[in-house]
Amino acid sequence: MSAKTYRVNEIFYSLQGEGFWTGTPMVFVRLSGCNLFCPFCDTEHASFQEMSADEIVAAVRAAGGPCQRICLTGGEPSLQADEALLEAFHQAGYLVHMETNGTRELPAGLDWVTLSPKNQVVGLKGNGTVVIGKADEVKLVLAPGVDPSAWESFPAAWHFLQPCDEGGRMNTAEVIAFIQDHPLWRLSLQTHKMLNIR
């Protein structure tokens, strides 16, 4: 019987560019595929290589050296990530973050959950209904149709609002004005793009 494999789009070492952990070294494990299609998505996540949990851990170690923090991302990582993969990371000494659209139940054992809901986005294809009941942070992209006020009561320690780049227009001024009027929120910028890193 062959070991379970996961469809891995890429593994790379960089700094977290968004949300609470901005500026923190992390190894990113991008899993292939997504159940939603957002009109502003800028991530190529369809291609993949089949890898076992042990192979993923070895690739993370090779990419990140001394870094002990992983971010599972996608696409939508909850389509594949399971408790066996998390256990392999934890056994190797890693802390595991996940950025998710929240439309699927998450495996137990995650060390940090970033909810990036898409259910209000105009032009969304797919069922964006959020089913998870809490997260460590909400990181909301202010895309057309999105009302951040609807997420202010969601159980999370931190709420971040991020500008949307759609059609070459960045709505940063709109995001700043909303945050000034709603001080629960903090500004999240895609600092990795500003710094021209992954």
* Catalytic site positions: 28, 34, 38, 41-43, 99, 192
Q: Does residue 160 lie in a domain region? A: no
**Which CATH number fits the domain that encloses residue 88?**
3.20.20.70
Q: Does residue 188 lie in a domain region? A: no
Q: Does residue 102 lie in a domain region? A: yes
Q: Does residue 151 lie in a domain region? A: no
Range of the domain at 91: 5-139
Q: Does residue 190 lie in a domain region? A: no
Q: Could you count the other beta carbons within 10 Å of the beta carbon of residue 19?
A: 22
pLDDT the model gives residue 27: 98
pLDDT mean over 39-47: 83
What's this model's pTM, rounded to 2 decimal places? Answer: 0.94
pLDDT mean over 24-47: 91
Q: Does residue 198 lie in a domain region? A: no
Of all residues in the chain, what percent carry a pLDDT higher than 70? Answer: 98
Q: Does residue 25 lie in a domain region? A: yes
SS3 for the chain is CCCCEEEEEEEEEEECCCCCCCCCEEEEEEECCCCCECCCCCCCCCCCEEEEHHHHHHHHHHHHCCCCEEEEECCCHHHCCCHHHHHHHHHCCCEEEEEECCCCCCCCCCCEEEECCCCCCCCCECCCCCCCCCCCEEEEECCCCCCHHHHCCCCCCEEEEECCEECCEECHHHHHHHHHHCCCCEECCCHHHHCCCC
Q: Does residue 183 lie in a domain region? A: no
Q: How many domains does the chain have?
A: 1
The yes-or-no verdict on residue 93 having pLDDT over 70 is yes
pLDDT the model gives residue 44: 82
The yes-or-no verdict on residue 184 having pLDDT over 90 is yes
pLDDT the model gives residue 1: 40
pLDDT the model gives residue 110: 98
The yes-or-no verdict on residue 189 having pLDDT over 70 is yes
